[in-house]
Structure formats: C-alpha cells, structure tokens
C-alpha cells in the first residue's frame, strides 16, 4: 500500500496576520466615526478572524478578506492603517525603574511624541533666535547712533566754518559769538556721546568674540591689553585708528548676523511654523503616520537652506529689476516666507532654470 502524503495546510503569512489585526482598527474607526459598513463585510472579517484562530484558513477566506479589506481602506481614506497605528498607544515591554515606580503601563502615541518633540524644538529655536536678534538689534542701534553723531559733527563743523567766513576777524558780532559758543558746547556733548557709544560698541564686540571666536590665550591677551589701556593714555592718532577699527569690525559682524545667521534662523522658523500647522491638521484628521516625521525633518532642512540662500543671494536679488517687489522687504521677512512655503520657492527656481535652458536651446536652433 502506497504512502499517502498528508494534505498541506494553507498557511498564514506574517503580513496577513498583521492585516487581520489591522482590520479591527478599520472596523473601530469606521463605527466610531459613523461610516456606513455593510453587514456582509463585517461578517467576512469576523469569519476570517475565527478561521485564523481555529487554524481553518483557506484560499477562499483569504480572497474574501482582502476584497473587504480593500473596501474598508477606501472607505476611511485619507485615514490609513499607518495613521491609525500612529494614534495607538503601545504597551511598554521593558519598563524602566521610573516607569515601574509610577506604574506607567503604556507609551505615548507616535503622533503625541512627534507633537511634543516639534513643540520643544520650536520653543528652543525661538529662544535662540530671539537672543541672536536682540544682540543684533543692540549692535545696529549703537552703530546707527555713532553714525548719527558723525553726521551731526559734520553739520556743526560746516556751520562753524560758515560763521567764520561770514564774520571773519570781526569779534564784535554778538549773535555770531553766541551761536559759535552754542555749537562748541553741542560739539563737546556729541563727542562725549560718540565716545560712550563706541565704548558700548566695543563691549558688544567682545561678547561676540568671547562667545564664538576667542580662545583662552586671545582672551588673556585682550584682558592684558585692557589693563594696559587704563594706565597708558592713547595718542590722538592711535585713538582715531582704534575707533575706526571698532566701527568697521562691528559693521562686519552686524553684516554676518543680518545676512547669514538670522536669515538661516528665520527660514527655519518659517519651516517650523509650517510643520506645526500641518501637525495640527494631520492629528485632527487622524492622517499622521511615521512617514510624516521623515517629511517634517526634510522640510526643516529645506526651510533652513532656503533662509540661508536668501541671505547669500540677497545683494544680487536687490540688483535685479524683476525683483522690485522684494527689494522693499527685509531679507529676514523673505527668509521666513521662503521657509514657510519652501516648495513654491524651489519650484519657482526650477521653473526659471528650465525657461533659461529652453531659451538657450531655442537660440542655438535659430542660429543653425
């Protein structure tokens, strides 16, 4: 008698087992949101679950299951299985001591963790950006005050020379003498104000140097030079050179902050604003998934690049007549808008490049 091979059971793959578990999520979501589900579809899913648990799975059961699974997936769209799983709390398999102490049995959902992370990141970025912006504003205010003092000194010198030309050697003109005295007093006050502003500007520079540039040796050298300046009076020529050097150095650092560092942060801030707004919409509509975090990370990077690009090319953009509307705006505002709508920025750049290439190709064809 020949050996009869036992009939092989129809096996259930891991992907199919996961789909069976996910089908319960589909049913729960559909019933909670009042979506119309046919009774036959519910029966197919429950029969499939029963067949799986009793190891009675067949090809016919699987075909009916996948058909119903497809219909339910269409019914709940744009909500997906991934977004439903992201909204589910997961059990902690290996709790820490702190979790055991407070008897925490569940982790946060993926969506809640993402909201928490991006909120903390946004607040931290805003504080850093606020500090840099305040520092930049203080430097520019002091630079403007020094510039106004120089302008007023030039006006006083010009008026004083005019009075000397008008009166000549006539010292008996009382009105001219009164005005000369007033101008001299005002010049003295403005010079004092200029010196104090330059001193404050030098302190502003030292904060920047100590924070970003100076090492310990340079800092010790700066402190040593500062002590020497207290006991050794500077000559007028040396003082003038030191003043000019301080002003030029402050202008350079203000330019770096205003055209490179701050636009970068404003571009990042615009991207953060987009991410937070999109997070609100996705969590509200329950369409957030793990892939959303990847998209948000790329969005933050692109927003930062857009802000940096605005700072790098701002001077070139101002020279183009086609950007007359943009020239009236600050580079920081443009950087924020670029970070907020980065997809439109890069799409516009690609369109400009495409048009440029087309014109070049058409020009070559016409020459031929």
Average pLDDT over residues 148-161: 85
Indicate if the pLDDT at residue 230 is higher than 50: no
Phi, psi for residue 173 in degrees, rounded to 5: -85, 105
pLDDT score recorded for residue 66: 92
Lowest mean pLDDT among 8-22, 144-158, 182-196, 232-246: 232-246
Residue pair 84/286 in contact (Cβ under 8 Å)? The answer is yes
Q: Which residue has the higher pLDDT, 155 or 223?
A: 155
Token pair for 14: 């891991």
Q: Please write the tens of the pLDDT for every residue from 311-365.
A: 887 755 554 544 444 444 578 888 999 999 888 887 877 787 877 787 766 666 6
pLDDT-derived band at 239 (thresholds 50, 70, 90) equals: low
- pTM, two decimals, is 0.73
Torsion angle of C-alpha atoms 169, 171, 175, 181, degrees rounded to 10: 100
Q: Which residue has the higher pLDDT, 231 or 144?
A: 144
Q: What percent of the chain has pLDDT over 90?
A: 15
Residue 109 falls in which region: left (phi positive, over 0), alpha (psi -120 to 50) or beta: beta
Q: In angstroms, rounded to a whole number, what is the distance separating the alpha carbons of residues 16 and 14?
A: 5
Q: Please write the tens of the pLDDT for every residue from 48-92.
A: 988 888 888 888 888 899 999 999 999 888 888 888 888 877 656
Residue pair 81/26 in contact (Cβ under 8 Å)? The answer is yes
Average pLDDT over residues 213-218: 49
Indicate if the pLDDT at residue 232 is higher than 50: no
pLDDT score recorded for residue 295: 92
Nearest to 157 by CA among 191, 195, 197, 196: 191
Q: Which residue has the higher pLDDT, 102 or 221?
A: 102
Q: How many CB atoms lie within 10 A of CB 198?
A: 22
Side-chain half-sphere exposure of 243, counting CA atoms within 13 A: 16
pLDDT score recorded for residue 350: 79
pLDDT score recorded for residue 122: 93
Token pair for 179: 């005005």
Lowest mean pLDDT among 10-14, 142-146, 221-225, 310-314: 221-225
Indicate if the pLDDT at residue 238 is higher than 80: no
Q: What percent of the chain has pLDDT over 70?
A: 76
Side-chain half-sphere exposure of 3, counting CA atoms within 13 A: 2
Q: Which residue has the higher pLDDT, 205 or 2?
A: 205
Q: How many CB atoms lie within 10 A of CB 105?
A: 11
What does the DSSP assignment read for 262-306? HHHHHHHHHHHHHHHHHHHHHHHHT---HHHHHHHHHHHHHHHHH
Indicate if the pLDDT at residue 280 is higher than 80: yes
Q: What is the mean pLDDT of the chain?
A: 79
Residue pair 288/282 in contact (Cβ under 8 Å)? The answer is yes
pLDDT score recorded for residue 364: 62
Average pLDDT over residues 135-161: 87
Q: Please write the tens of the pLDDT for every residue from 16-48.
A: 888 888 888 888 888 888 888 888 888 998 989
């Amino acid at each position: 008698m020949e050996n009869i091979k036992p009939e092989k059971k129809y096996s259930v793959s891991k992907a199919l087992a996961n789909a069976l578990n996910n089908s319960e999520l589909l049913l729960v979501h559909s019933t909670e949101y009042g979506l119309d589900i046919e009774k036959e579809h519910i029966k197919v899913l429950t029969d499939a679950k029963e067949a799986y648990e009793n190891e009675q799975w067949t090809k016919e059961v699987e075909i009916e299951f996948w058909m119903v699974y497809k219909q339910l997936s269409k019914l709940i769209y744009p909500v997906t299985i991934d977004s439903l799983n992201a909204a589910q709390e997961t059990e902690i398999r290996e709790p820490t001591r702190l979790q055991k102490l407070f008897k925490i049995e569940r982790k946060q959902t993926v969506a809640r963790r993402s909201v928490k992370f991006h909120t903390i990141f946004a607040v931290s970025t805003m504080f850093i950006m606020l500090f840099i912006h305040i520092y930049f504003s203080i430097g520019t205010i002091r630079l403007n005050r020094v510039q106004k003092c120089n302008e007023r000194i030039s006006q006083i010198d010009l008026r004083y020379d005019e009075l000397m030309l008008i009166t000549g050697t006539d010292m008996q003109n009382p009105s001219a003498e009164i005005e000369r005295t007033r101008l001299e007093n005002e010049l003295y006050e403005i010079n004092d104000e200029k010196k104090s502003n330059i001193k404050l500007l030098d302190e502003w520079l030292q904060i920047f140097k100590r924070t970003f540039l100076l090492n310990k040796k340079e800092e010790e050298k700066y402190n040593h030079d500062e002590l020497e300046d207290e006991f050794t009076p500077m000559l007028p020529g040396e003082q003038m050179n030191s003043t000019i050097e301080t002003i030029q150095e402050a202008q350079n650092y203000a330019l770096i902050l205003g055209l490179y560092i701050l636009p970068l942060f404003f571009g990042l801030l615009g991207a953060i604003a987009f991410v937070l707004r999109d997070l609100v919409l996705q969590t509200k509509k329950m369409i957030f998934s793990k892939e959303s975090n990847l998209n948000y990370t790329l969005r933050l990077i692109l927003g930062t690049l857009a802000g940096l690009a605005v700072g790098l090319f701002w001077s070139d953009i101002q020279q183009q007549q086609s950007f007359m509307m943009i020239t009236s705006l600050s580079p920081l505002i443009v950087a924020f808008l670029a970070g907020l709508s980065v997809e439109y920025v890069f799409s516009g750049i690609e369109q400009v490049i495409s048009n440029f290439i087309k014109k070049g190709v058409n020009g070559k064809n016409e020459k031929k």
